[in-house]
């Protein structure tokens, strides 16, 4: 998919009966002595690879060979080489843990995965920041908490999160919060012997609900969980139009120490085009209001590759960002998520066809430069499927303002207990070096109706812990 963006790719075990004239057909054969590739039934490549290693090693060997074939055929190189995983920094992190030097890790990523020098350096430096912070934590005997408030004032076109329209759910919020609190009570009781390191309230946009509901939630969190070891209590206030002084003061009162206020772009037309339904002015207003209320760690998210945005538009967003000077900035590359209005619109309705999407390595470098000028360094990194330009998302931060939760979730070395509709729990079993995921149902109505089953799902896995 990275070599043939937006083409339909079909994988079959057997030869399809009919191959259309314009289709590209690649047959991959795994044999004892190696792997062979037959393209359009003619050209053949053969790579000797060892099939002795474990499944992961074999998979990587086959991917490397496939990468070389497609590179030759398309005459393209990919910035991340054969790396297709969501968390490339995990590879670099593991090498830091094992005592490799920066130079050795960069070389390893270039040689083993054909990643470019720039991406190898970015990945290595990001993992170093994570390693320098996380190595002092007792990850085995601690956990973090994720709470989902899946409501928003409107749905952004690129969104694939659980985000239900707040206006349609207002009457059922009482039921939702009551179920959420039941689930939190279960988690607090079950994990009472572990240290809580971070709390992340996400969604949706949690600040879509009233100050009264925020107070109810924060009060319960503080009542149920021990806060002595908590390093971060973060609330997503992503949509500037959901923030007011009353809500901010409630969050401050209960010890929220990190907020995320997300412009995505500082171009008025873009905000309207992508369904944000707030103005650029509201971004400034809510950011400075949060500053006035005493928040000392404010993050901002931006997306690159939004419709009709040129590199100059992104440069403008960055210069406005610099003026506001948030403590951390997360730069996303637009991802075409299957469930988003954007993808559905382009695929099925032929809408948005005249939109121009621009994103490239050059934009990424310009943004990286802007972040350096703000004294922000990369501290977490991840990739997604179907991203514009096949690039990455990078979290930048000023020194000492890195988000613990973001680093912990990326490196998968720590259990994250999640509550609420659409929330996904990740349990790390240290002795077996195993991760188990537990998903809650996404639909808010189903979550309310099936809350006992959601708790029971956790109880079945956590039974003896
Ligand atoms: S604010 Fe975030 S969660 Fe809500 S619709 Fe937009 S992208 Fe989705």
- CA 23 to ligand 1 center in whole angstroms: 37
Q: In this model, does residue 109 exceed pLDDT 80?
A: yes
What percentage of residues in the chain have a pLDDT greater than 90? 69
> What is the pairing mode between strands 377-382 and 434-439?
unpaired
Q: In this model, does residue 354 exceed pLDDT 70?
A: no
Mean pLDDT of all residues in 86-91: 92
Q: In this model, does residue 348 exceed pLDDT 60?
A: no
Closest C-alpha residue for ligand 1 atom 8: 159
Closest C-alpha residue for ligand 1 atom 5: 155
When mean pLDDT is compared across 15-24, 208-217, 305-314, 427-436, the lowest value belongs to: 15-24
341 Cβ closer than 6 Å to some ligand 1 atom: no
405 Cβ closer than 6 Å to some ligand 1 atom: no
pLDDT at 390: 74
Mean pLDDT of all residues in 56-79: 89
Mean pLDDT of all residues in 113-132: 96
Residue whose CB lies within 8 A of the most ligand 1 atoms, among 155, 202, 384, for a mutation test: 155
Give how far the C-alpha of residue 124 lies from the chain's centroid of Cα atoms, to the nearest Å. Answer: 19
When mean pLDDT is compared across 123-137, 287-301, 357-371, 382-396, the lowest value belongs to: 382-396
- CA 154 to ligand 1 center in whole angstroms: 8
pLDDT at 350: 59
Residue whose CB lies within 8 A of the most ligand 1 atoms, among 151, 157, 161, 343, for a mutation test: 161
Task: Please give the full DSSP string across 222-279, using - where no structure is assigned.
Answer: HHHS--TT--EEEEE--SGGG--HHHHHHHHHTT--EEE---B-S-HHHHHHTT----
Mean pLDDT of all residues in 221-234: 97
Q: In this model, does residue 260 exceed pLDDT 90?
A: yes
Phi, psi (5° rounding) for residue 190?
-70, -35
pLDDT at 148: 98
Mean pLDDT of all residues in 375-393: 86
Mean pLDDT of all residues in 222-234: 97
User: Which has more pLDDT, 4 or 267?
Assistant: 267
Classify 150 as helix, strand or coil: coil
pLDDT at 29: 87
Q: In this model, does residue 35 exceed pLDDT 70?
A: yes
155 Cβ closer than 6 Å to some ligand 1 atom: yes
When mean pLDDT is compared across 17-31, 62-76, 106-120, 167-181, the lowest value belongs to: 17-31
Nearest atom within ligand 1 for CA of residue 203? 3
Q: What is the mean pLDDT of the chain?
A: 91
User: Which has more pLDDT, 33 or 365?
Assistant: 365
Contact (CB, 8 A) for 198 and 139: no
Closest C-alpha residue for ligand 1 atom 6: 156
Contacts for 248 with CB less than 8 Å, ≥ 6 apart: 259, 289, 290, 293, 295
In 321-403, DSSP assigns E strands to: 328-333, 377-382, 393-397
Neighbours of 358 (CB within 10 A): 18
Nearest atom within ligand 1 for CA of residue 152? 4
Residue whose CB lies within 8 A of the most ligand 1 atoms, among 156, 271, 334, 420, for a mutation test: 156
Tokens at 317, concatenated: 């967003």
pLDDT at 8: 82
- CA 347 to ligand 1 center in whole angstroms: 21
Mean pLDDT of all residues in 264-269: 96
128 Cβ closer than 6 Å to some ligand 1 atom: no
């Amino acid at each position: 998919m990275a070599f043939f963006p937006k083409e339909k790719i079909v994988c079959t075990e057997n030869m399809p009966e009919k191959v259309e004239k314009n289709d590209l057909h690649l047959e991959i054969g795994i044999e004892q002595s190696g792997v062979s590739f037959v393209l359009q039934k003619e050209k053949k490549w053969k790579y000797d690879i060892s099939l002795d290693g474990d499944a992961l090693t074999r998979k990587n060997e086959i991917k490397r060979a496939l990468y070389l074939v497609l590179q030759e055929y398309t005459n393209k190189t990919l910035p991340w080489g054969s790396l297709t995983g969501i968390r490339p920094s995990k590879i670099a992190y593991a090498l830091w843990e094992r005592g490799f030097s920066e130079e050795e890790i960069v070389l390893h990523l270039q040689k083993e995965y054909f990643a470019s020098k720039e991406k190898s350096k970015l990945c290595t430096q990001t993992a170093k920041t994570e390693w320098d912070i996380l190595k002092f934590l007792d990850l085995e005997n601690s956990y973090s908490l994720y709470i989902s408030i899946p409501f928003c004032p409107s749905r952004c076109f690129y969104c694939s999160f659980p985000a239900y329209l707040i206006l349609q759910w207002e009457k059922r919020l009482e039921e939702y919060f009551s179920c959420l609190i039941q689930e939190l009570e279960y988690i607090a009781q079950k994990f009472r012997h572990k240290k809580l390191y971070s709390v992340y309230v996400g969604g949706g946009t949690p600040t879509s609900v009233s100050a009264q509901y925020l107070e109810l939630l924060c009060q319960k969190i503080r009542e149920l969980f021990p806060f002595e070891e908590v390093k971060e209590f973060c609330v997503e206030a992503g949509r500037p139009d959901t923030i007011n002084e009353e809500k901010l003061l409630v969050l401050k009162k209960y010890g929220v120490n990190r907020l995320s206020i997300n412009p995505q772009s500082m171009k008025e037309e873009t905000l309207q085009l992508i369904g944000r339904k707030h103005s650029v002015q509201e971004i400034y207003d809510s950011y400075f209001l949060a500053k006035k209320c005493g928040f000392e760690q404010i993050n901002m998210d931006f997306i690159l590759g939004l419709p009709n945005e040129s590199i100059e538009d992104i440069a403008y967003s960055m210069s406005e960002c610099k003026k506001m000077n948030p403590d951390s900035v997360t730069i996303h590359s637009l991802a075409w998520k299957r469930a988003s209005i954007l993808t559905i619109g382009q695929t099925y309705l032929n809408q948005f066809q005249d939109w121009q999407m621009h994103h490239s390595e050059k934009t990424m470098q310009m943004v990286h430069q802007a972040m350096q000028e703000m004294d922000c360094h990369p501290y977490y990194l991840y990739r997604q499927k179907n991203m514009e330009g096949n690039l990455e998302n990078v979290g930048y931060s000023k020194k000492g303002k890195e988000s613990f939760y973001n680093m912990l979730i990326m490196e998968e070395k720590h259990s994250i207990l999640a509550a609420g509709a659409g929330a996904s729990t990740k349990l790390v079993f240290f002795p077996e070096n195993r991760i188990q995921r537990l998903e809650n149902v996404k639909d808010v109505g189903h979550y309310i109706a099936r809350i006992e089953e959601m708790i029971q799902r956790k109880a079945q896995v956590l039974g003896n812990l």
